[in-house]
Amino acid sequence: MSHGHCGSGGCNGDHNHEHDSPEMGVEYSLYTKIDKENLTCLNEAVDGSCKTIFKPWDQRLNFETMVDSDVDEELLINIPFTGNVKLKGIIICAPDDESHPNCVRLFKNRPHMTFDDTTTEPVQEFHLNRDPTGLLEYPLKAVSFSSVNHLSIHVPSNFGNDTTKLCYIGLRGEWTAAQRSEILITNYELRPNVADHPNRVWEQASHEIQ
């Protein structure tokens, strides 16, 4: 496929090492707000395996649950949320070998993306360092990811292997319930219907006669 790769500019995001602490499990709990039933991954070798990498932070090193790419190194993950999310950071954890992704490209609010769609400019992209411990966070642009109901993660390449492996993707941010505003349709009568108001029309006619 090889549709998109990190460009020469804007890929190197700041990344901060975080301490392994219980607070990280709370901060990286957005996996509970993912609509996993409708989560999809293009080019995964085993159908549904990508759903297993969105898991509790303290299970991020469980390499028994991971996703492998199929025919080449690309992956495209479409992630619907159950509400609106303000994304602040992402962690990409994978084996410490050449199958580890070396780049991710992020798109927002574009459901059902395909590899053909990845030729467009992403909202943000990062060159990745190998991170088999899941302690390396890449901060996201707060303004760009302030209102996200769908996130697409494109992995265009890795460190040299024919296929890509991912064992954990962590998302940090704030979730709010979707506002479902009910539309009330009100019929305004510009011209009264005589059948609906017989008494009122009779009274008006009586006044005019007098």
pLDDT tens digit sequence for 83-137: 999 999 999 999 999 999 999 999 999 999 999 999 999 999 999 999 999 999 9
Residue with tokens 């490209």: 105
CATH of the domain spanning 16-181: 2.60.120.470
d(CA 69, CA 154): 12
Residue 39 and residue 30 in contact, taking contact as beta carbons nearer than 8 Å: no
The alpha carbon dihedral of 67, 71, 73, 74 has a sign of: negative
Q: What is the C-alpha separation between 135 and 158, in angstroms, rounded?
A: 19
| DSSP structural state of residue 101 | B
State pLDDT tens for residues 29-83. Answer: 999 999 999 999 999 999 999 999 999 999 999 999 999 999 999 999 999 999 9
Q: What is the pLDDT of residues 92-103, one digit of tens each?
A: 999 999 999 999
State CA 68 to chain mean position distance: 20
Domain boundaries, the chain: 16-181
CA gap 195, 156 in Å, rounded? 68
Q: What tokens does 50 get?
A: 């990508």
- Residue at 139: amino acid letter: P
**Contact predicate 137/182, CB 8 Å:** no
Closest C-alpha to 150, from 92, 78, 87: 78
C-alpha–C-alpha distance, residues 100 and 77, integer Å: 16
